């Protein structure tokens, strides 16, 4: 965490931040803001499948106390209008989502929303972009490929972890990588570097018959599953029975895949538009880098910094939004 703050130059001095209080690797977010000098950090929590509100509070203060920043972190289970009127930055974090128009309308005019991932990955269900446009509140993505963040370098190992978890060796496996976005190069490089025979396709329809061991789906989410009835039938016609469809990103219909004789990983459904595996599955470092970068991008815009192609910050466009 100290290295990430130093490498990014994160400086939140004088700022008030509203983020989530979560468990595991995600407990770092409010602590990172406080380490970077935030005047006050509100961390909203609620109990969920990853732990209780008490768990989140305990884990955060176990990190914050040795660093001497616990006195600037306040755990909330309810967000008052007074809190919203005071914050400079709000993070688009799990416990806070969705950021509704009601919440956004109570923010100061100079507030900034930190998307906490790249701008092109924006999901409309996360926050009310129309309310942001109306209020002229920037929604700031983070350049995950910035050298001080470099989260994209973890995507290949993350896909390897999924394949290992579902019982494949990767080495020597024939893998169809279905990808239509910027995840393509890091995923391909990560799989190929461990000896997989990887062939890339930008759509399910482009897949050709072969002795496939697995298909890794990394397709940009849409209103309907990227792998539905027609796509499942096509994959089944192209692969041996029992080939595995691995959901990295992009929604899939597990029932129709199973009905077509294909195995599916992960076995349980994940939230619509979400990844099939969390970055924290390969350790805390990618989460620390991502959260620090997300805060840095928002801090940069909040201070009036220019958004450039090679900088930390990206903006979610308002085109067509009134």
Q: What are the mean pLDDT values of the chain's consecutive 10-residue runs (322 residues total)? A: 98 98 97 98 89 94 98 97 98 96 97 97 94 97 98 97 98 98 97 98 97 98 95 98 96 97 96 92 97 98 97 88 45
Place of tokens 């989502």: 97
Average pLDDT of the chain, as a whole number:
96
Contacts of 112 (CB under 8 A, 6+ apart): 88, 89, 90, 137, 138, 140, 298, 301, 302
Count CB neighbours of 127 within 10 A: 25
Say whether domain 2-149+282-315 belongs to CATH 1.10.1740.110: no
**Rounded Cα distance, 113 and 138, in Å:** 6
What is the β-pairing status of strands 214-218 and 244-249? parallel
* Sequence ranges of the domains in the chain: 2-149+282-315, 167-265
Is 2-149+282-315's fold the same as 167-265's? yes
Q: What is the tens place of the pLDDT at every residue in 154-195?
A: 999 999 999 999 999 999 999 999 999 999 999 999 999 999
**What's the pTM?**
0.93
Place of tokens 């990767």: 170
* Class in CATH terms, 167-265: alpha beta
Q: Which of 281, 282, 220, 227 is nearest to 256 (CA)?
A: 227
- Predicted pLDDT of residue 271: 85
- Predicted pLDDT of residue 47: 82
> What are the φ/ψ torsions at residue 103 (nearest 5 degrees)?
-70, -50
């Amino acid at each position: 965490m100290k290295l990430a703050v130093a490498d990014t130059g994160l400086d939140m001095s004088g700022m008030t931040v509203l983020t989530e209080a979560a468990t595991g690797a995600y407990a770092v977010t409010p602590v990172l803001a406080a380490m970077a000098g935030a005047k006050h950090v509100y961390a909203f929590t609620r109990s969920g499948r990853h732990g209780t509100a008490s768990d989140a509070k305990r884990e955060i203060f176990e990190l914050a106390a040795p660093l001497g920043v616990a006195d600037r972190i306040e755990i909330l289970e309810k967000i008052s209008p007074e809190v919203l009127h005071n914050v400079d930055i709000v993070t688009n974090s799990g416990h806070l989502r969705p950021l509704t128009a009601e919440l956004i309308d109570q923010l100061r005019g100079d507030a900034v929303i930190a998307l906490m991932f790249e701008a092109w990955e924006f999901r409309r269900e996360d926050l009310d972009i129309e309310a942001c446009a109306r209020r002229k509140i920037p929604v700031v993505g983070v350049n995950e490929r910035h050298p001080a963040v470099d989260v994209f370098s973890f995507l290949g190992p993350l896909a390897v972890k999924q394949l290992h978890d579902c019982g494949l060796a990767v080495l020597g496996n024939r893998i169809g990588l279905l990808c239509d976005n910027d995840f393509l190069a890091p995923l391909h490089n990560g799989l190929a570097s461990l000896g997989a025979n990887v062939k890339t396709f930008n759509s399910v329809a482009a897949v050709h018959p072969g002795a496939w061991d697995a298909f890794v789906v990394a397709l940009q989410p849409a209103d309907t599953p990227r792998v539905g009835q027609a796509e499942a039938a096509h994959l089944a016609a192209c692969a041996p029975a029992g080939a595995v469809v691995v959901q990295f990103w992009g929604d899939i219909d597990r029932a129709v895949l199973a009905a077509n004789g294909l195995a599916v990983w992960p076995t349980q459904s994940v939230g619509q538009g979400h990844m099939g595996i969390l970055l924290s599955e390969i350790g805390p470092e990618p989460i620390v880098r991502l959260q620090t970068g997300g805060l840095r991008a928002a801090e940069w815009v909040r201070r009036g910094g220019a958004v450039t192609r090679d900088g930390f910050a990206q903006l979610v466009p308002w085109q067509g939004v009134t």
